[in-house]
Amino acid sequence: MFPKGTKRKFSDAGEEAVGGGGGDQGPSAASSSSSSAAAAAARTLTSSYSLQRQSLLDMSLIKLQLCHMLVEPNLCRSVLIANTVRQIQEEMTQDGTWQIMTQALAAAQCPADRLVATEVLCRQTDPAAQAGQSPKPFSVSGVEEGYHSEEVVMDGDVETEVTMSSLSPASPHASSASYLAGPFGMRPCWEEEDDDDEEEEGDCEEDEEEDSEECASEGEEAEQDHLRADSRTGEQVFGTFEIKHPAPPPDPALDELFSDVDPSYYDLDTVLTGMQSAPKMGPYDLLESLSSHGPTALSSSSSCRSDLNELDHIMEIIVGS
């Protein structure tokens, strides 16, 4: 399920660290002896574990995104994948990896630059629309991992990974933790789309205390400063990632991969909520979503531009600016 060019980073034997061998096999279990707390600590420090976990996260997100929409996808499978994503996210939050990743990605964001993943995930035909494009953090990192895993590994990013996880940012955890709020991870692909901002904030509030600040997009300036302070860290971490200026030549394999997929898939909101503006609807409770959802967020005529608006909107929420 990886996009073209991915190098498998671990063999099946090494999977035991993530896959959990029956307690008496696998490197992580061996190092943890019998204490699960020690196991957690051991896992946190293992860079291969982080890589594997990230790869699992990417895989899960791709699975959630690429639902074949001719027939309603299997709800049980979607629920299990979403639970896995949630579990990884929670663990990454505890590690501190999550906030580092989102911070770094937000810091690396720049109007004129565009990460490759964005190009891939949001197939653009309109060059003008590409300027001002903001990347989507979780999918960016996911696809980045997929495309540039070789660079990541070869450039000694193993150490970088370790740096990532051991770096507890000096910045306050509070605002970082609230990155967890918002669509990602809490809005699996069977949900109704909530275009209403209040509803989104309400959802956030369920999960984290600081959500309301994030979602309400307050303290914009303070957030920007905070992000800029961390930008150096982000650049260090993501320095090996390719950052492209204007459009790279389209990758035929990628085009083939996404050729028969409705472009509105690339819309983050669509992906997470299973809703599409096109006639083909997503699964689960669409009857209800039909009544509550209107084409309010999609104001522009071209679907690409509307996708961008959605992305900007989501980025604002996640980045908190």
Partner 1 sequence: MGEDTDATPTLNHHGFLPDHNYVTEADIISTVEFNHTGELLATGDKGGRVVIFQREPESKSDPFSQGEYNVYSTFQSHEPEFDYLKSLEIEEKINKIRWLPQQNAAHFLLSTNDKTIKLWKVSERDKRPEGYNLKDEEGRIKDISTVTSLQVPVLKPMDLMVEVSPRRVFANAHTYHINSISVNSDYETYMSADDLRINLWHLDITDRSFNIVDIKPANMEDLTEVITAAEFHPHHCNLFVYSSSKGTLRLCDMREAALCDKHSKLFEEPEDPCARSFFSEIISSVSDVKFSHSGRYLLTRDYLTAKVWDLNMESKPLETYQVHDYLRSKLCSLYENDCIFDKFECAWNGSDSVIMTGAYNNFFRMFDRNTKRDVTLEASRESSKPRAVLKPRRVCAAGGKRRKDDISVDSLDFTKKILHTAWHPNENIIAIAATNNLYIFQDKLNSEMH
190 sits near partner 1 (criterion: CB under 8 A)? yes
Min separation Cβ 120 and partner 1, Å: 20
Per-residue mark of binding to partner 1, 265-284 (x: CB under 8 A): --------------xxx-xx
Interaction residues for partner 1, span 121-180 (CB under 8 A):
none
Looking at 161, 191, 193, 223, which residue binds partner 1 (CB under 8 A)? 191
Contact at 8 Å (CB) between 63 and 69?
A: no
Burial of 51 (0-12, 13-18, 19+ CB in 10 A): buried
In the chain, the largest separation of any two C-alpha atoms, in whole Å, equals 60
For partner 1, which is the closer residue by CB, 221 or 260? 260
Min separation Cβ 190 and partner 1, Å: 6
User: How would DSSP label each residue in 125-161?
Assistant: S-HHHHTT----HHHHHHHHHHHSHHHHHHTTHHHHH
Looking at 3, 29, 61, 141, which residue binds partner 1 (CB under 8 A)? 29
83 sits near partner 1 (criterion: CB under 8 A)? yes
Min separation Cβ 24 and partner 1, Å: 8
Interaction residues for partner 1, span 211-270 (CB under 8 A):
none
Angular region, 285: left φ>0, alpha ψ -120 to 50, beta rest:
left
Residue 57 CA, distance from chain mean position: 8
39 token code pair = 């196991």
Burial of 6 (0-12, 13-18, 19+ CB in 10 A): middle
How far is residue 218's CA from residue 227's CA, in Å, rounded to a whole number? 15
**Stretch in the footprint of partner 1 (CB under 8 A) among 62-70, 151-159, 212-220, 304-312:** 62-70
Judged by DSSP in three states, 261 sits in: coil
- C-alpha neighbours within 13 Å on the C-beta side of residue 160: 21
Min separation Cβ 193 and partner 1, Å: 11
76 sits near partner 1 (criterion: CB under 8 A)? yes
For partner 1, which is the closer residue by CB, 93 or 118? 93
Looking at 79, 112, 131, 222, which residue binds partner 1 (CB under 8 A)? 79
Per-residue mark of binding to partner 1, 3-22 (x: CB under 8 A): ---------xx-xx-xxxxx
- C-alpha neighbours within 13 Å on the C-beta side of residue 253: 6
Contact at 8 Å (CB) between 122 and 314?
A: no
Interaction site with partner 1 (CB under 8 A): 1, 12-13, 15-16, 18-23, 25-26, 29, 34, 36, 39, 52-53, 56, 59, 63, 69-72, 74-77, 79-80, 82-84, 87-88, 186-188, 190-192, 203, 279-281, 283-287, 290
